[in-house]
Amino acid sequence: MAGAMKLRWLFACPGWRDIFAIPRATVARIVHNVVEEMMIILHRAVHFPKLEDMEEVGAGFTQLAGHEAFRCVAGAIHGCHICVVPPAEPQKKSYINRKLFPSVVLQAVCDSSGKFLDTYVGNTSSVHDALVFQRSLMYKEYLYQPAGYVLLGDGGYPCLRHPVTIITPYRQPLAGDILEEEHHKSKNSTIENATGHSGVIPHARLAAQVSAPNRELPKHLREHDY
């Protein structure tokens, strides 16, 4: 019953009293207890792949994008807004996002199948994606830096080599870069679907002529504007 109530609360909060006929305080206690139990076992489901599994991760992005250039991809990173009940003023205004509802930012990294590899949540919606990323443990503790692999991020993220390698879109793509747009469309939806977000997330334009990379970054990635 507690699990069913929690799922109902998460996905369709209105109407829970009509279905379960339980007081609000009881529902709040059950929801908090179930969430605490979920957090204890979260690491079993959400974790970075082992080094020996990286080739499989890259192969998944290659198949998804339809191009060998994506064999060096270790994941896609994206941020989305989670609706919350904000605190009172003056703190409330920092929770109001550009769509005018209160939220916190969920940063997630997923693989080609949409499986979460890492999550970081808690910053208010007024905090930019780049700053959310810099506050995350993945950034501060160098948690995901497999040699020769990159994360794909949209224009809200910095283009970095260290401590986590991220490739972002070219601001002014050349003709050869534009040809890669079709490859990106198939994988762009992966992280959006995983986070329940439908916005556009144009990832890095990888050069069409690149073959499968070795353990060093491919030439076109080394020449990207970090």
Same domain, 125 and 197: yes
Same domain, 26 and 83: no
Same domain, 86 and 118: yes
Query: 0.85 exceeded by the pTM?
Result: no
What pLDDT digit, counting tens, does each position of 107-135 carry? 999 999 999 999 999 899 889 999 999 99
Same domain, 115 and 184: yes
Q: Where in the sequence is the domain holding 112, given as residue range(s)?
A: 45-222
By DSSP bridging, strand 150-152 and strand 73-83 are parallel
Rounded Cα gap, residues 139 and 8, in angstroms: 34
Same domain, 16 and 52: no
**Which residue from 64, 49, 82, 50 is spatially nearest to 190, judged by alpha carbons?**
64
What pLDDT digit, counting tens, does each position of 23-45 carry? 778 877 887 888 888 889 999 99
**Which residues, other chains included, contact 59 with Cβ-Cβ below 8 Å and sequence gap of 6+?**
71
Same domain, 68 and 148: yes
Same domain, 130 and 173: yes
Same domain, 24 and 129: no
Three-point CA angle 193, 70, 137, nearest 5°: 60
The residue type at 211: S
Total tally of structural domains belonging to the chain: 2
